[in-house]
Structure 1
Amino acid sequence: MIAGLELGGTKCVATLAEGREVVEQRRVPTRDAAATVGELTAILDEWVMAHRVEAIGVAAFGPIRTDRSAPDFGTFLATPKPGWQGFALAAHLEARYGLPVGLDSDVNGAALAEGRWGGAAGMANHAYVTVGTGVGVGLVVGGRTLAGRAHSEMGHIFVDRAAGDEGPGNCPFHGACVEGLISGPALAARTGLAGEALDEMHPIWNQFVHVLARLVHTIVLTAAPERVALGGGVLATRPGLVARVDAAVRDGLAGYAQVPFTVGPPLLGDQAGPLGALALALGRLEAGAA
């Protein structure tokens, strides 16, 4: 039995599972760290008391310290989310439960889940892009998530914009980075309309496709993945955008990609994130909690 916590920008999902098989799943809104973690640990307390839970996996929004050798491993860094910066989540869970804790970014977790059970099963090199409250990229190279001293933050790179696409962008750190242009909050700020009110013919989608295709272009030429999964809340209800991004990527590459690749939705759908937390728990157990 393992437990997983997916911490997203608007909601958190707690999952109890026996290996891959989900036994129970609960959702809580993402608020400040004290309130949110209080609700999540109340759920974990119940599960740990009732079941022989062997490990906890955490797939969290960032930035969060993912270097296990760092003294502040599992601590939130300069996040724009109020009340989270400096919160030592991994240390809190380890001290409370005395269990192995596997932790990585939410999008890295989703990428690992797609590699274990989803559309990238059997692939050693693949990527997962989520477009929702934020924009994140999980890169798996040689079967492992790609990370240096911290996890990837490719959602904050700058790319060229479509002709006529102007404005400051919505990212509080970088303005018109990828996240500042195409995340859910960015689309709302740029159009004055909530996501569900944006119909398929709105001109913002042309700009969206251009920016996301440029991000995928960079991923393909940087990591040479076999597959790039495009997920997250913005894309979940608009599958036609995935095909448009795929076409725009191939047009932009002009045949230059050195290996064949596919672009498509995550096979695990909206369960990629929660299952990512489980993949991190299993990975920690498989590593012997060393």
Structure 2
Amino acid sequence: MIGAIEAGGTKFVLAVSDENLEQLEKISIPTTAPDETLGKVFAFFDKYELKAMGVGSFGPIDVNEASETYGYITSTPKAGWQNIDFLGQLKDRYKIPVAWTTDVNAAAYGELKKGAAFEKNSCLYLTVGTGIGGGAVINGSPLEGYGHPEMGHILVKPHPKETFKGVCPYHDSCLEGLASGPAIEKRYNKKAEALADNDEVWEMEAYYLAQALMTYTLTLSPERIILGGGVMHQKQLFPLIRDKFSELLNDYVKTPPLKDYIVPPELADNAGIVGSLLLAKDQS
């Protein structure tokens, strides 16, 4: 059997499957203090004999195997979780191979193997919600280097009508600062779902997301871009983003037809846990 953890700032999803990825048990637990949360993680997995595990974690995390803090959750804003040796505690407990990456890299891998990018060699997964995070799979492997991608923090050009500073405490006018769910709420003093019929809101949102997708296209050239997260439940965004993307790119490079290139996820909220199970299977 193999295990998987999708570790989020709000909740942890834990799953065990057989070698065919048939899930035998899956639970969700709230993300509280590290000791309490990991105690529940251990209680769940201690019932099983696992061959391998895959973890997709909120971050930032250290993915550099040459680093002294490899496997740590590092400078996260999640209270109490800074500098926690998450991977080390799992390996000490279970003595098995553990695949370790970001939650969005795991989601991208799940969508590549079982979802919206099935039979592709590369894809990019961007989640637009409480924050904005992106993961990529290039030539079949999650993208990592000295660190991992932080796609939500690229700088974007403010909309001509923009008067809002942004919510990111580090960068102000980065993508997350201007286009995340909290940015929309703070700009308009309403929840995003209460603004569904306000065309100006979504035209501005599409303007920012299209800029980001153009940057990702020019740097990574993925075969498919998948947009998930709570903000993307506003389905009217997809045609707006495609139109603005086309305008910004201006035929400079070729892409697949945009209705096939910029798409919603097929695995919905299961992409991260499916991807983590797949990464575990690769280790076993």
1:72-129: CA deviations, max 9, x gaps?
Answer: 2110121111111100100010001112111101111111111111121221121111
Is the Cα contact below 8 Å between 1:67 and 1:150 reproduced in 2? yes
Give 3-state SS (helix, strand or coil) of 1:239's partner: coil
Count, aligned residues: 280
Is the Cα contact below 8 Å between 1:80 and 1:172 reproduced in 2? no
1:268 counterpart residue number: 267
- TM-score with structure 2 setting the length: 0.92
2:26 counterpart residue number: 25
- Judged with a 3 Å threshold, the aligned counterparts in structure 2 of structure 1 residues 98 and 191 are, in CA distance, closer, same or farther, namely same
Matched residue type, 1:3: G
Residue of structure 2 aligned with 1:223, choices 211, 220, 224: 220
- State how far apart, in whole Å, the 2-side matches of 1:36 and 1:171 are: 27
Quote the offset at 1:149 in angstroms: 0.7
Alignment of 1:75-86 (within 5 A): 75-86=72-83
Matched residue type, 1:230: L
1:245 aligns with 2:241: yes
- State how far apart, in whole Å, the 2-side matches of 1:68 and 1:97 are: 19
Unaligned runs of 5+ in 2: none
Quote the offset at 1:225 in angstroms: 1.1
Is the Cα contact below 8 Å between 2:158 and 2:173 reproduced in 1? no
Give 3-state SS (helix, strand or coil) of 1:203's partner: helix
Is the Cα contact below 8 Å between 1:104 and 1:280 reproduced in 2? no
Matched residue type, 2:143: L
1:38 aligns with 2:35: no
- Judged with a 3 Å threshold, the aligned counterparts in structure 2 of structure 1 residues 275 and 173 are, in CA distance, closer, same or farther, namely same
Is the Cα contact below 8 Å between 1:230 and 1:266 reproduced in 2? yes
Is the Cα contact below 8 Å between 2:8 and 2:57 reproduced in 1? yes
- Judged with a 3 Å threshold, the aligned counterparts in structure 2 of structure 1 residues 187 and 271 are, in CA distance, closer, same or farther, namely same
- State how far apart, in whole Å, the 2-side matches of 1:84 and 1:175 are: 24
After superposition, the CA RMSD in angstroms is 1.7
Quote the offset at 1:154 in angstroms: 1.4
2:146 counterpart residue number: 149
1:288 counterpart residue number: none
- State how far apart, in whole Å, the 2-side matches of 1:83 and 1:188 are: 26
Is the Cα contact below 8 Å between 2:196 and 2:234 reproduced in 1? no
Give 3-state SS (helix, strand or coil) of 2:42's partner: helix
1:15 counterpart residue number: 15
- TM-score with structure 1 setting the length: 0.90
- State how far apart, in whole Å, the 1-side matches of 2:224 and 2:58 are: 23
1:255 aligns with 2:256: no
Quote the offset at 1:202 in angstroms: 5.5
- Judged with a 3 Å threshold, the aligned counterparts in structure 2 of structure 1 residues 33 and 202 are, in CA distance, closer, same or farther, namely farther
1:277 aligns with 2:272: no
- State how far apart, in whole Å, the 1-side matches of 2:231 and 2:26 are: 22
Is the Cα contact below 8 Å between 1:59 and 1:280 reproduced in 2? no
Quote the offset at 1:203 in angstroms: 2.8
1:148-203: CA deviations, max 9, x gaps?
Answer: 11100011111112111122211122222111112222222222223433323253
Alignment of 1:1-290 (within 5 A): 1-18=1-18, 19-45=20-46, 49=47, 51-201=48-198, 203-235=200-232, 237-260=233-256, 262-285=261-284
- State how far apart, in whole Å, the 1-side matches of 2:30 and 2:191 are: 19
